[in-house]
Amino acid sequence: MTTLGVNIDHIANVRQARRTVEPDPVQYAFLAELGGADSITVHLREDRRHIQDRDVFLLKKTIKTKLNLEMAATKEMLEIAKNLLPNYVTLVPEKREEVTTEGGLNVKNNVKYLKNFVESLKNSNIEVSAFIDPLREQINYSKEIGFNFVELHTGKYAELTGHDQYIELQRIIESTHEACDLGLVVNAGHGLNYNNVKKIASINNINELNIGHSIVARALAVGLENSVREMKSLINSN
């Protein structure tokens, strides 16, 4: 059964818009768990534009599910992760000027550096995932580097329609099978919403979907617990 990781970065976005103490993403993580979230995802960015150090350490102490820390492969973030000890880390590309993550991590071009980085995390008993585009070469290099997971970038699928979306869906399906054949656990995420999630959730061997923006947006109308519950129902309806 495919599980649901809920990204609560956008709760922190609202807080940081006024540089105040509310809404507290740590408190909202409880509601996400009540709605059925199987893990909580946060991206601690270099510029700290939303999630703060305080948030990740409190989440680790208080949530009842699993903590997925998204981060760039930098020395600063490595030290934080080794102190925090999240259930797993997802390495993502990061640019200060981007609104959100724009594409997958190019593991092919950073094999030696990432091998050492991933090994250091695994030595602290942290499982590690690579957020990558659904491409065979990226999957193969992810295996070579030593990642436990890959998270397939579904942003292009989410942006396309009609036959073009179908073609991208087939690429994600093929990539899922290729990664599983190599012994990698496969997650997926980015741009998924209540209208497009079911086809991705129906792919065999997808372990977990990480979804944030659409759930938080829906929560403005129905509350976070209910919006998570609705998304979980769609994922499990196949």
The C-alpha atoms of residue 208 and residue 1 are separated, in whole angstroms, by 9
Determine the Cα–Cα distance for residues 147 and 71; give it in Å rounded to an integer: 15
Residues 6+ apart with CB under 8 A from 227: 35, 215, 216, 218, 219, 221
Give percent helix, percent strand, percent coil of the chain, each to the nearest 5.
50, 20, 30
Q: What size, in residues, is the chain?
A: 238
Tell me, yes or no, if 98 is annotated catalytic: no
* SS3 assignment, position 41: strand
43 is known as an active-site residue? yes
Tell me the H-state helices in 70-223: 75-84, 111-123, 136-145, 155-159, 162-181, 197-201, 213-222
- State the CB neighbour count (10 A cutoff) for residue 20: 10
Q: Annotated catalytic residue: which of 168, 178, 190, 225? A: 190
From the CA atom positions of the chain, what is the Rg in Å? 17
Dihedral pair phi/psi, residue 7, rounded to 5°: -90, 120
Q: Which is the catalytic residue, given 10, 33, 43, 208?
A: 43
- Establish whether 177 is a catalytic residue: no
The token pair at 102 is: 């724009």
| From 33, 50, 70, 127, the catalytic residue | 70
Q: Which residues are catalytic?
A: 43, 70, 190
